[in-house]
Amino acid sequence: MLNLVLFGPPGAGKGTQSEKLIEKYQLIHLSTGDILRSEISNGTSLGLEAKKLMDQGVLVPDEVVIGMISNQLDSNKNARGFIFDGFPRTVAQAEALDRLLNTKASAISGMVALVVDSEELEKRLLLRGKDSGRPDDANPEIIKKRIVEYNSKTAPVANYYREQNKLTTINGVGTIDQIFDSICSVVDAY
């Protein structure tokens, strides 16, 4: 199985690159942000709770997202592999993911981390906020909060994979196709 963690701050291009990668490598795309937004649009109680936190730009509780990923792994038993996008976002989530994959006799193949400076991130997210309908994109203060949350809680996850020799960092600034080619050369080596 090919299990890729696509990592990076808000607006780094995780979702954009995941769409291309799932096509090329025939993987299942698991984006906790997308799953949470679909819970919100379906008006579930989980969605209602998550919305309050997401609209403020802060993380939802670990147990909520770990439960979602566990369900997705169970319902995609015959997958060739997964792209984890926006998960794991804390070290506790990374440890839980290892345990979940272990019970399926599988493991993370590697993490690709997209490196993009804060100025570029804010520019991309504000631009998307004009028509995305995502409340967390519309307000510069919320975008800043998401980046602060990333730096304090999520950035340490890269070290977790570095210690396992599974981390590759890639320049996330450039054209979408250039960045895709860089990611593919890493994935092809797995």
Which chain residues interact with ligand AP5 by CB under 6 A?
8, 10-16, 32-33, 36, 53-54, 57-60, 65, 86-87, 89, 93, 124, 128, 136, 146, 174, 176, 179
Least CB distance from residue 33 to ligand AP5, whole Å? Answer: 2
Active site residue 37: no
Residues 63-102 that bind Mg ion (CB under 5 A): none
Residue 15 binds to Mg ion (criterion: CB under 5 A): yes
Quote the radius of gyration of the chain (alpha carbons, Å): 16
Q: Which is closer to ligand AP5, CB of 145 or CB of 166?
A: 145
d(CA 82, CA 1): 8
Q: Looking at 37, 51, 124, 146, which residue is catalytic?
A: 146
Least CB distance from residue 34 to Mg ion, whole Å? Answer: 7
Least CB distance from residue 146 to ligand AP5, whole Å? Answer: 5
**Interface positions with Mg ion (CB under 5 A):** 14-15
Which residues does the annotation mark as catalytic?
14, 89, 128, 134, 146
